[in-house]
Structure 1
Amino acid sequence: MGFNKPYLTGNEQVYIQEAISGLHLSGNGQFTKKCQTFFENRYGFKKCFLTTSCTDALEMAAILAEIVPGDEVIMPSFTFVSTANAFVLRGAKIVFCDSRSDHPGMDESLIESLVTPRTKAIVPVHYAGVACDMDVIMAVANKYNLLVIEDAAQAIDSFYTGEDGVKRPLGSIGHMAAFSFHETKNIISGEGGMLVVNDERFIERAEIIWEKGTNRAAFFRGDIDKYGWIDVGSSFLPSEIIAAFLWAQLVALDKIQARRKVIWNTYYDGLAELQDLGIRLPKIPDFATNNAHMFYLIMPSLEERSLLIYKMRQTDIHLVFHYQSLHNSPFYLSQGKEISLRKSEEYSDSLVRLPFYYELDIIRVLEGILN
Structure 2
Amino acid sequence: MTIPFNRPLCLGTEAAAVADTLASGELAGGGLRTRACEAWFRAHTGAPLALMTPSCTQALELAALVADIRPGDEVILPSWTFVSTASAFVLRGAIPVFVDICPRTGNIDPLQIEAAITDRTRAIVPVHYAGVSCDMDMIMAIANRHELLVIEDAAQGVMARWRERPLGSIGHLGAYSFHATKNYTSGGEGGLLLVNDERFAARAEILREKGTDRRAFQRGDVQRYTWQATGSSYLPSEVQAACLWAQLQQAEPVNRRRRALWEAYTAALTGVPGLTLLKPPAEAEHNGHLFAVRLPDATIREQVRQSLADAGVAAHTHYVPLHSAPAGQKFGRSAGELAHTQAVAETLLRLPLHYALSDAEQAQVIEATCRAVKVALN
Q: What TM-score comes out, normalization by structure 1 length? A: 0.96
- Asked whether 1:284 is paired with 2:284, we answer no
User: Who is 1:173 aligned against?
Assistant: 170
Structure 2 residue 314 is the aligned partner of structure 1 residue 314? no
Give the length in aligned residue pairs: 364
Does the residue aligned with 2:228 lie in a helix, a strand or coil?
coil
1:255 matched residue in structure 2: 253
Deviation larger for 318-327 or 13-22:
13-22
Q: Which moved more, 1:150-159 or 1:100-109?
A: 100-109
User: Which of residues 133, 136, 147 in structure 2 aligns to 1:134?
Assistant: 136
Q: Report deviation, 1:368.
A: 1.1
CA RMSD in angstroms, aligned pairs only: 1.2
Q: Distance in 2 between matches of 1:310 and 1:268?
A: 22
Task: Please give the residue correspondences for 1:182-331 in structure 2 after superposition, counting only pairs within 5 Å.
Answer: 182-189=179-186, 190-274=188-272, 277-331=273-327
What code does the residue aligned with 1:298 have? R
Give the whole-Å Cα distance in 2 for the aligned partners of 1:224 and 1:325: 47
1:3 aligned partner: 5
**For residues 315 and 348 of structure 2, what CA distance do their matches in structure 1 show?**
10
SS of residue paired to 2:174: strand
Q: Assess, with a 3 A threshold, how the Cα gap between structure 1 residues 336 and 46 changes in structure 2: closer, same or farther.
A: closer
**CA–CA separation in structure 2 for the residues paired with 1:57 and 1:278:** 39
Matches within 5 A, 1:56-75: 56-75=58-77
In structure 1, what is the Cα distance between the partners aligned to 2:156 and 2:192? Answer: 12
Match of 2:92 in 1: 90
Sort the Cα spacing of 1:353 and 1:15 in 2 relative to 1 into closer, same or farther, 3 A: same
Alpha-carbon displacement from aligned partner over 1:37-82 (angstroms, at most 9, x marks no partner)? 0011122122100000000000001011111111000000100000
Within the candidate set 31, 35, 41, 1:33 is matched to: 35
User: 1:312-352 CA distances to partner (integer Å, 9 max, x unpaired)?
Assistant: 11122111001111000011234595763100001110111
Q: Distance in 2 between matches of 1:172 and 1:337?
A: 28
Secondary structure at the aligned position of 1:318 is classed as: coil
Distance 1:139 1:47, change over 3 A: same
4+ aligned runs moved over 6 Å, structure 1: none
Letter of the 2:355 counterpart: Y
Q: Secondary structure at the match of 2:18?
A: helix
In structure 1, the partner of 2:340 is 343
Deviates more, 1:173-182 or 1:309-318: 309-318
Q: Is the contact between residue 95 and residue 333 of structure 2 (CA under 8 Å) also seen in structure 1?
A: no
- 1:3 & 1:332 partners in 2: Cα distance? 28
Structure 1 CA distance for aligned equivalents of residues 148 and 333 of structure 2: 24
Identical counterparts, % of pairs: 46
Letter in 1 for 2:282: D
SS at 1:196 equivalent: strand
2:104 aligns to what SS in structure 1? Answer: coil
The residue type equivalent to 1:258 in the other structure is R
* TM-score normalized with structure 2 length: 0.94
1:114-158 Cα distance to aligned partner (Å, 9 max, x none): 111100000000111111111111111111110000000000111
| CA distance in 1: counterparts of 2:108 and 2:223, whole angstroms | 48
Measure, in 2, the Cα distance between the counterparts of 1:95 and 1:156. Answer: 26
CA distance in 1, matches of 2:266, 2:289: 13
| Matched residue SS, 1:8 | coil
Aligned twin of 1:164: none
2:363 corresponding residue in structure 1: 363
SS of the residue 2:277 aligns to:
coil
> 2-side partners of 1:334 and 1:54: how far apart?
23
Gaps of 5+ in 1: 162-166
Cα distance in 2, alignment partners of residues 34 and 101 from structure 1: 39
Residue 22 (structure 2) aligns with:
20
What CA deviation, in whole Å up to 9, does each residue of 1:211-245 have, x standing for no partner? Answer: 11111111122211111111111111100000000
Q: Quick one: which amino acid aligns to residue 121 of structure 1? A: A
Q: Which runs of 5+ in 2 are unaligned?
A: 372-378
Q: Distance in 1 between matches of 2:40 and 2:118?
A: 39
Moved more, 339-348 or 244-253: 339-348
The DSSP-based 3-state class of the residue aligned with 2:77 is strand
Checking the alignment, whether the CA contact within 8 Å between 2:269 and 2:275 is kept in structure 1 is no
CA distance in 1, matches of 2:291, 2:135: 20
Q: 3-state DSSP class of the match of 1:150? A: strand
Per-residue Cα deviation, 1:188-226 (whole angstroms, up to 9, x for no partner) = 111000000000011011011111111111112221111
